[in-house]
Amino acid sequence: MKYMDEYRDAAASRRFARAIRRITTQPWTLMEVCGGQTHAIIRFGVDTLLPPEISLLHGPGCPVCVTPIHLIDAAIALAARPEVIFTSFGDMLRVPGSHTDLLAAKARGGDVRMVYSPLDAVRLAQANPEREVVFFAVGFETTAPANAMAVYQAAAQNVTNFSLLVSHVLVPPAIEAILSAADCRVNGFLAAGHVCAVVGYEAYFPLAEQYRVPFVVTGFEPLDILQGVYMLVRQLEQGRAEVENQYARCVRREGNLPAQALVQQVFQVVPRQWRGIGEIAQSGLGLRPEYAAYDAVQRFHLAADITPEATDCRSGDVLQGRLKPHQCPAFGSRCTPEHPLGATMVSSEGACAAYYRYRSLQAETLAGAP
Amino acid sequence: MTDINLSCPVPLADDDTVLLAHGSGGKAMHRLLESVFLPAFSNPALAAAHDGAALTIAGGRLAFTTDSYVVRPLFFPGGDIGTLAVNGTVNDLAMCGARPLYLSTGFILEEGLPLQTLRQVVASMQAAANAAHVSIVTGDTKVVDRGKADGLFINTAGIGVLEHNRTIAPQAIQPGDAVILSGDVGRHGMAIMAAREGLAFEGALQSDCAPVAEEVLRLLAAGVDVHCLRDLTRGGLASALVELASASAHGIHIQEDAIPVMDTVRGACEILGIDPLYVANEGRFVAFVQADSAALALTTLGAAARQIGTVRGGAPARVTLASAIGATRVLDMLTGDPLPRIC
């Protein structure tokens, strides 16, 4: 089976779209949490196949977007140090801090390098013993195991010139924050498939029960999303609030146990600042005290100031599903990928970037849509 | 005693790396010309050893173009900076509908570049020139200090002759024109990315770097009514179409599932979160032809070519793409460099 062909099949997509239309009898507001799902929806136009009663809200599942601005500033400051090789996934390089971004820091002479794996950063540290290698450890639960492995291996191999600048965030606390907001309009959630592949989906059962909201663990191809929507609408139409798994080819209820064990060994749950949203308790991961030597904040004595966001950036509202990107007054005018006001316009998983890339020229017609 | 760095001003006779002296116009430079450039690019014009080449060109209209090449790494699967430097300029001439004839080449060499590397690049250039039936008739060499030029940079300029009276340009594009794509897309950019980042994919990725002049001349000789040609380099197929929609002030509609992409390229793009429509190519072009010429164009170009869309008249001058699952989206110009996803 070739997943990309099978899960993007036009005929199958239309059948699912028809099936969703058949069972939908009233308006429902659904939220997909993961930025990767947002992009797939917009890129393939999945939302245009849904009946008008279904509206999709885009959630805060873009770790790049929610990394606090002071950490971006800290990253830029580290990159400017001559002894530092600052490594990161590509996405973080163009996210704006208070004044500039990492790519500009690179242009000004900072040694900023894009890597595809945190283990590459460890290898870089081994190859350059006279330099300090820092890796920007950004992500949800999905990337935590690889980052934990990097620290674990660095410790095992006695690599002392390597550290992580950590900005890990957890999904369930973010969902709970959205559900407990007074103006929450979300009827059901498409849960992030790859996060669940790592941590499983046990955490959603108490949320489903407490808030009477269904969850469907969903994948990333158009057919995954359509099937996920179908399963969610079916639950809502039947008055159920349960947790179901659409992405069964990839996700088990208990998740990936060895990965979880490694993460628990290296990281602990800490409070985290979410850019545009504020602090959410117990919503992040930080290095355990026994791995403090690998924590860039402690290693480089970085200040922990909270920097206020630019006032005209509405990322926070977009991330919580209160605003669609094209409804933001700065969208496409003062805020574009070339000169973004906030992270949601830059990151490949940011809702604003998705709308701009795939929909901007239709924004004038979308402006009237809910 | 202070540390004195003695450097003898007289260059060593047996150079195995490029030295600053090689760019100075003196004996070292002449040695470089005679031992590296002239034997590779041998032709009467170059042998005249004059400041410029005097050429006799039959026919009235000329096409003229230039491009500079700064690719990193210098050598990649499917080619090197030399093959790019020749084919890139040959293809720009072909996009005017011209028969490419003569190239100039300017080298900016970094002090310390191994001469063996230079010889390999030069040999590649001559091989590419032979394959494209062009001669490299004049050139220049400069050397800059270590650290100032990433190995080497090459500029080539090219002259070709227009053997027809057509206007082949964005302004000639008309509503109803068929958009023909000469082959599968995304190979070059992904091959470079894989080579640069040290990524190994199953089913190795090779650049599609090749001259397209012969294909274009066949199209014209067959009588296909060609309105516009564009080769798909940086920014990929999508950027070329967006530029042409804007330049011609017409809308263009294309079908995503008509665009051929090799499985290896598609897989590499999926893993890295890159859209193959925006990936660079070096041996592919789009042709806008009169609607009733489309079938002949496809037969002439062969099995790899496809009709991927049509031109819709007038405003809005956008490129719309019908996705594989049937929804339509608008294609925009690429922003910055494609950055891979993080999770």
> Tell me: the pLDDT tens digits for B165-205?
889 999 999 999 999 999 999 999 999 888 877 777 777 78
CA-to-CA distance for B15 and B3, rounded, in angstroms?
26
Residue B222's pLDDT band (boundaries 50, 70, 90)? very high
C-alpha distances (whole Å) from A12 to each of A8, A21, A225, B13, B254 are: 8, 14, 12, 72, 22
Residue B206 has pLDDT above 70, yes or no: yes
CA-to-CA distance for A45 and A222, rounded, in angstroms?
9
Q: Which chain A residues touch B if contact means CB-CB below 8 Å? A: 4, 8-10, 13-14, 36, 42-46, 48-49, 63-64, 89-94, 114, 116, 138-140, 142-143, 194, 222, 336-338, 348-349, 356-362
Q: What is the SS3 assignment for B181?
A: strand
Residue B343's pLDDT band (boundaries 50, 70, 90)? very low
CA-to-CA distance for B136 and B128, rounded, in angstroms?
11
- pLDDT tens figures, B262-289: 999 998 888 777 889 999 999 999 999 9
The mean pLDDT value for A234-258 works out to 97
Q: Please tell me the number of Cα atoms within 13 Å of B298 on its side-chain side.
A: 12
The mean pLDDT value for B317-325 works out to 88
Residue A357 has pLDDT above 80, yes or no: no
| pLDDT for position A205 | 97
- Across chain B, where does the E strand assignment appear? 61-69, 75-76, 79-80, 99-110, 135-144, 152-162, 178-181, 226-231, 251-255, 285-289, 306-312, 319-322, 328-331
C-alpha distances (whole Å) from A250 to each of A12, A13, A143, A149, A181 are: 20, 20, 16, 21, 31
Q: What is the DSSP letter of A307?
A: P
Considering only the beta carbons, identify the residue of A92, A336, A362 that sits closest to B330: A362
Residue A322 has pLDDT above 70, yes or no: yes
Highest mean pLDDT among B26-35, B37-46, B296-305: B296-305
Residue B324's pLDDT band (boundaries 50, 70, 90)? confident
| pLDDT for position B51 | 78
Which one, of A29, A78, A74, lies nearest residue A53 by Cα? A29
The mean pLDDT value for B322-332 works out to 83
Give B76's strand partners: B79
Which comes out higher in pLDDT, residue B165 or B127? B127
Picking from A37, A39, A91 by the largest number of B CB atoms within 10 A of its own CB, the best residue to mutate is A91
Query: How far from the centroid of its chain's Cα atoms is residue B308's Cα?
Result: 22
Residue A343's pLDDT band (boundaries 50, 70, 90)? confident
Residue A3's pLDDT band (boundaries 50, 70, 90)? confident
Nearest chain B CA: its distance from A245 CA (Å): 20
CB contact under 8 A, B273 and A348: yes
The mean pLDDT value for A79-89 works out to 94
B254 within 8 A of B322, measured Cβ to Cβ: yes
CB neighbourhood size of B336 (10 A): 11
Question: Could you give the angle at which helices A222-237 and A35-44 cross, rounded to 10 degrees?
Answer: 100
- pLDDT tens figures, A91-148: 788 788 888 889 889 888 899 998 888 999 999 999 999 999 999 999 899 999 999 9
- Is the CB of residue B72 less than 8 Å away from at least one CB of chain A? no
Considering only the beta carbons, identify the residue of B332, B336, B342 that sits closest to A139: B342
Residue A224 has pLDDT above 80, yes or no: yes
Residue A4 has pLDDT above 80, yes or no: no
- Across A299-364, where does the E strand assignment appear? none
Average of per-residue pLDDT values in chain A: 89
A195 within 8 A of A34, measured Cβ to Cβ: yes
Residue B218's pLDDT band (boundaries 50, 70, 90)? very high
What's this model's pTM, rounded to 2 decimal places? 0.81
CB < 8 Å to B323, chain A: 43-45
Which comes out higher in pLDDT, residue B206 or B54? B206
**Structure ipTM over 0.95, yes or no:** no
Residue B9 has pLDDT above 60, yes or no: no
